[in-house]
């Protein structure tokens, strides 16, 4: 059972890699035009059947359907999964202030990194 879950996880990642690559290229082109990102975006827009329809719609949709199905089946049949999820929720609720501090710190670091890249490139 664990091997099939690992295989499904790898399949999910492979299904979203092209769309993720495209989204990263869009972000990089907006932040700092890096050579090659424009070419990737142009390729996706010129190849509508493969680039847009398959890589950006069909494959992520397949990942969503397969992932949702696996999660719902596991949730219904695996009592340990439900128990672990409830424990995680209880621990997050008990430490909500620390969770918010950690999230704010990570967001502040990301914002500072974006600002630093912007200042360096201008």
**Domain stops at, among 43, 59, 77:** 77
| Cα separation, 41 vs 28, whole angstroms | 11
Q: Which two tokens stand for residue 24?
A: 């990263």
Both 93 and 119 in one domain: the answer is yes
Both 85 and 114 in one domain: the answer is yes
Q: Are 55 and 19 in contact (CB under 8 A)?
A: yes
User: What average pLDDT does the structure give for the chain?
Assistant: 88
Both 41 and 97 in one domain: the answer is no
Both 55 and 70 in one domain: the answer is yes
Both 90 and 33 in one domain: the answer is no
Both 71 and 85 in one domain: the answer is no
Both 109 and 55 in one domain: the answer is no
pLDDT at 19 over 70: yes
Both 24 and 51 in one domain: the answer is yes
SS3 per-residue string spanning 38-76: HHHHHHHHHCHHHHHHHHHHHHHHHHHHHHHHHHHHHHH
pLDDT at 79 over 70: yes
Residues of the chain with pLDDT > 70, as a percent, come to: 94
Both 67 and 87 in one domain: the answer is no
Both 54 and 84 in one domain: the answer is no
Residues across the chain: 122
Question: Containing domain of residue 46, as a range?
Answer: 1-77
1 or 52, higher pLDDT: 52
Residues of the chain with pLDDT > 90, as a percent, come to: 57
Domains: count for the chain = 2
Distances (CA, A) of 35 to 32, 38, 53: 9, 7, 25
pLDDT at 69 over 80: yes
Average pLDDT (9-25) is 91
* Predicted pLDDT at 34: 67
Both 8 and 48 in one domain: the answer is yes
Nearest to 37 by CA among 20, 21, 55: 21
User: Any residues with CB less than 8 A from the CB of 42 and at least 6 apart, and which?
Assistant: none
* Predicted pLDDT at 11: 93
Both 96 and 60 in one domain: the answer is no
**pLDDT tens track for 42-51:** 888 888 888 8
Q: Are 81 and 75 in contact (CB under 8 A)?
A: yes
pLDDT at 35 over 70: no
Confidence label for 1 from pLDDT (cuts 50, 70 and 90): low
Q: Which two tokens stand for residue 115?
A: 């600002």
């Amino acid at each position: 059972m664990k091997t099939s879950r690992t295989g499904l996880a790898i399949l999910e990642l492979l299904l979203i890699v092209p769309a993720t690559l495209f989204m990263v290229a869009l972000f990089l082109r907006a932040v700092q035009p890096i050579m090659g990102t424009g070419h990737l975006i142009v390729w996706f827009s010129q190849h509508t059947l493969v680039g847009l329809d398959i890589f950006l719609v069909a494959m992520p949709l397949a990942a969503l359907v397969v992932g949702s199905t696996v999660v719902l089946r596991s949730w219904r049949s695996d009592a340990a999964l439900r128990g672990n999820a409830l424990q995680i929720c209880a621990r997050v609720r008990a430490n909500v202030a620390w969770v918010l501090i950690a999230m704010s710190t990570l967001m502040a670091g990301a914002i500072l990194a974006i600002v630093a890249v912007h200042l360096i490139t201008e």
